Amino acid sequence: MSPAIAQFQSEVLGDGRIDNYIISSSVHVVTGIVVLLTMTAATGLTLRHAGRNEAIRGPAKLSIGGAVLALAAQVLLGIKLLDQGQGIVQLYIHYVGGLIPMGAFLAAGWFARGDSGRSSRVLAALMTVGYASALMAFFIGRAYAN
């Protein structure tokens, strides 16, 4: 790698500046509550459409999008907290349980878009698994928070 490229990368890409930002674990807790609220709404609306054997519509799609964004923010905050050395004493089930909802959303994107009654039922099952996992991760995380 030439010195010009190395210099460019160290100036533009941050030079480790993200390490200088310290976040409080309370931000992770508040974001976890937002995740639970958005997952509750998304799962409830998806279950309602699945129970009626119909495709999901606007509010359900918006709530799923909101849940995905909240969950992505939560995962990134959790990674940053681990980088800061916090959360090391937590159980691995908290980490795995926090990533299962993201896997459920990925699987939903592959297998269940909710564009038919059958697809809505599969999506509802995946959302229920993700929601239960998010609940588990939140309460296990709160029980072992330092």
Residue 121 belongs to domain with CATH number? 1.20.120
Predicted local confidence at residue 70, as pLDDT: 96
Contact 40, 102 (CB under 8 A): no
Taking the CB of residue 7, how many other CB atoms lie within 10 A of it?
10
Q: Is residue 121 part of a domain?
A: yes
Q: Is residue 14 part of a domain?
A: no
Q: How many domains does the chain have?
A: 1
pLDDT in tens, 55-79: 998 999 999 999 999 999 998 888 8
Alpha carbons 120 and 108: distance in angstroms, whole number: 10
Kindly report the average pLDDT of the chain as a whole number: 82
Taking the CB of residue 81, how many other CB atoms lie within 10 A of it?
19
Band (89; pLDDT cuts 50, 70, 90):
low
Question: Which tokens is 111 given?
Answer: 């297998």
Q: Is residue 11 part of a domain?
A: no
In the three-class reduction of DSSP (H, G, I as helix; E, B as strand; rest coil), residue 85 is classed as coil
Q: Which residue has the tokens 């592959």?
A: 110
Q: Is residue 15 part of a domain?
A: no
Please indicate whether residue 73 or residue 88 has the higher confidence score (pLDDT).
73
Band (13; pLDDT cuts 50, 70, 90):
very low
Contact 73, 95 (CB under 8 A): no
Examine the pLDDT at 90 and tell me if it is beyond 80: no
Alpha carbons 138 and 35: distance in angstroms, whole number: 9
* Domain extent at residue 36: 24-143
Q: Is residue 71 part of a domain?
A: yes
